[in-house]
Amino acid sequence: MAEGSPAAEIAAGYVSEGAAVELGAVVIDGVADASAAVRLPLATLNRHGLVAGATGTGKTKTLQLISEQLSAAGVPVVLADVKGDLSGLAAAGEAGDKLAKRAEELGDDWQPSAFPAQFLSLGTGGKGVPIRATITSFGPVLLSKVLGLNETQESTLGLIFHWADQRGLALLDTKDLRSVITHLTSDEGKADLKGIGGVSAATAGVILRALSNLEAQGGEDFFGEPELDVADLMREVDGKGVVSLLELDNLQSKPALFSTFLMWLLAELFEELPEAGDLDKPKLVFFFDEAHLLFSDASKAFLERIEQTVKLIRSKGVGVFFCTQLPTDVPNSVLSQLGARVQHAIRAFTPEDQKALAKTVKTYPTTKHYELDQALTSLGIGEAIVTVLSERGAPTPVAWTRLRAPRSKMGSIGDDAVVASAQSSELNGKYAETIDRESAYEKLAAKVNAGQAPPPEETAAPQPKQEADGPGFVEQAMKNPALKSFMRSAASALGREVTRGLFGNRRR
């Protein structure tokens, strides 16, 4: 690299004293300069990022490249594996002529390597270890997104949750919520429905129908216990961070459920993790694939929750990368918080595409080395326009980057291998069997059989002394993974309200 050359000038902005992810090398006039490295400092990964680009431009390989280097650095990773291709992280890559050529031109001492991976599936119908969340933990805002409710219906659902909380009715699965709504819309529940105010029987009926539709689509398999303990996402094996691959191979059947579950995971991580301050490397990095599904038709309250979570979770040492086709898929309030940008090629065939291209160009620092509107439509497969935050927090120069090849297998390891790995996982014994303990459904059924309505005094919210003692007890119990799911579901009404209020779930 000639001193004072454009490549040298760009690469100077990517010099890192601490550990960094090696992305690739600067490209000038179609030629990669192996001595001009483009790096992503680990210390800035909790400032979040974006990986974007059209289908077939290499986004998946970029996610794989970054994930395996994070794992090697001891950083756990969570990846949504939409197409199943990322399962190759669990197997060593295979050398080939194309791979050898790219390694040589980038000065990359490529060696095949496998990384510790655990395979997870939403609900009980997938190939991985089944993971779940309770209805109570999910909360009304996130559940409203899954059910496709409008803001009025979302507000009503929040009041229904509040009513159940006050009466100690645990909402663990869909039949619990259905039983509560059925009670409130029944003759026996009219007084309760009137008592919580602002809830019409018609709106409650709409929510009940939306819930029934979700159950008909198999959504009830996801909600329940044992609930996922986020500590199981933050493991190391032999000094390498475990890569948690969340199977989304039937994404199209329940897109809102999958994307909203990922958001729930972020919210849980925020709740569970202590403040971390500035770290040399993140505690965990979360890749949010198909991010456009999260923001599509989202309510104002839901968007506010996303923005607040992304803003605050960096202090917990968690990095979040949104992955999608266009940066315009991500709202400006969230996009402005993403410090790293890895933009693969944009296909600008329509007027709408041209508008998106123009907006994308404006999100990058100015550069004298590239015409960005032309560069973004001319990138080859495995190339990207990159800018990140340097270790001192300033945006790095825009770099046309030829990306390194992953060390692990590029492609799926096969369904049989995924199933075998999941069944032999230590998590399988913890999550494989569904637990159906007494909750709202059973309690309301018992009251109906006895000819009674559920009186508040029987299951009232905790008394002041219990409220004062409760948080300490819950905090202590949460340290035991075996009790964690139970305690979160059975937490006091006060505890649930505080959690929801912290994330702005309800507009009061």
Dump pLDDT digits (tens) for 16-28: 999 999 999 999 9
| Per-residue model confidence (pLDDT) at position 193 | 81
Query: Is 54's pLDDT higher than 70?
Result: yes
Task: Name the CA radius of gyration of the chain, rounded.
Answer: 24
Q: What per-residue confidence (pLDDT) applies to 451?
A: 57
Residues 212 and 467: beta-carbon distance below 8 Å = no
Residue 283 token pair: 């505690």
Distance CA 23, CA 402 (A): 8
pLDDT over 90 (residue 353): no
What does the pLDDT average to over 265-272? 87
Q: How confident is the model at residue 305 (pLDDT cuts 50, 70, 90)?
A: confident
Strand pairing class (383-387; 340-343): antiparallel
Tokens of 82: 């939409």
What does the alpha-carbon distance between residue 24 and residue 391 come to, in Å, rounded to a whole number? 18
Angle between helix 201-216 and 174-184 (nearest 10): 160
* Residue 439 or residue 424, greater confidence: 424
- 173-186 burial, b at 16+ Cβ within 10 Å, e below that, comes to bbbbbbbbbbbbbe
Contact 305, 256 (CB under 8 A): no
Order of strands across the sheet with 383-387? 31-41, 20-28, 399-403, 383-387, 340-343, 49-52, 318-324, 284-288, 77-81, 243-247, 117-122, 129-131
Higher pLDDT, 124 or 331: 331
Task: Return residue ranges of the chain for CATH 3.40.50.300.
Answer: 6-131+225-413
pLDDT confidence bin for 10, thresholds 50/70/90: very high
199 three-state secondary structure: coil
| 3-class state of residue 348 by DSSP | coil
Which is nearest to 401 in space by CA: 15, 66, 13, 27? 27
- At residue 160, the pLDDT reads 92
Closest CA relative to residue 265, chosen from 351, 138, 157, 146: 138
Which residues, 6 or more positions from 365, have their beta carbon under 8 angstroms from its beta carbon? 387, 395, 397, 398
Give the number of other CB atoms < 10 A from CB of residue 105. 15
Does the structure show a pLDDT above 50 at 457?
no
Confidence at residue 437, expressed as pLDDT on a 0 to 100 scale: 85
Q: Cα–Cα distance between 282 and 502 in angstroms, integer?
A: 23
* Segment among 146-155, 218-227, 295-304, 489-498 with least mean pLDDT: 489-498
β-strands 318-324, 49-52 pairing: parallel
Six-digit token pair at 494? 């006060």
Please give the pLDDT value at position 237: 96
Report the C-alpha gap between 238 and 19 in whole angstroms.
Answer: 19
In angstroms, the CA 151 to CA 156 distance is 9
Would you say residue 235 has pLDDT above 50? yes
Task: Give the mean model confidence (pLDDT) for residues 21-36.
Answer: 97
Task: Count CB atoms within 10 A of the CB of residue 312.
Answer: 14
pLDDT at 216: 86
CB 50 within 8 A of CB 72: no
Cα distance from N-terminal residue to C-terminal residue, the chain? 60
Number of Cβ within 10 Å of residue 417's Cβ equals 15
pLDDT at residue 441 tops 70: yes
| Rounded-to-integer distance, Cα 300 and Cα 318, Å | 24
308: pLDDT strictly greater than 70? yes
pLDDT exceeds cutoff 70 at 77 = yes
What is the DSSP pairing of strand 77-81 with strand 284-288? parallel
At 34 the pLDDT is 96
Confidence tier at 468 by pLDDT (50, 70, 90):
very low
Please state the rounded mean pLDDT for residues 290-312: 85
**4: which residues sit within 8 A by CB, 6+ positions away?**
none
Peptide bond into 456 cis (omega under 30): no
133 contacts 269 by C-beta, under 8 angstroms: no
Q: Which residue has the higher pLDDT, 190 or 494?
A: 190
Q: Which residues pair with 408 in a beta bridge?
A: 92
Q: Locate 205 and state its tokens.
A: 């009926």
According to DSSP, the residues that pair with 435 across neighbouring strands are 225
Best CA proximity match to 40, nearest among 383, 341, 380, 376? 341
* Model confidence pLDDT, tens digit, residues 243-262: 999 987 665 667 788 888 88
Q: Is 160 exposed, middle or buried (0-12, 13-18, 19+ CB in 10 A)?
A: buried
CATH number for region 6-131+225-413: 3.40.50.300
Helix (H, G, I), strand (E, B) or coil at 382: coil
In terms of Cβ atoms closer than 10 Å to its own Cβ (0-12, 13-18, 19+), residue 228 is: buried
User: Which bin fits 36, alpha (ψ -120 to 50), beta or left (φ > 0)?
Assistant: beta
What's the chain's average pLDDT? 85
Contact assessment for residue 270 and residue 62, using Cβ atoms and an 8 Å cutoff: no
**181-190, 348-357, 394-403, 431-440 — which one is most confidently predicted on average?**
394-403
3-state secondary structure (DSSP) of residue 183? helix
Of the candidates 142, 1, 32, which has an alpha carbon nearest to the alpha carbon of residue 386?
A: 32
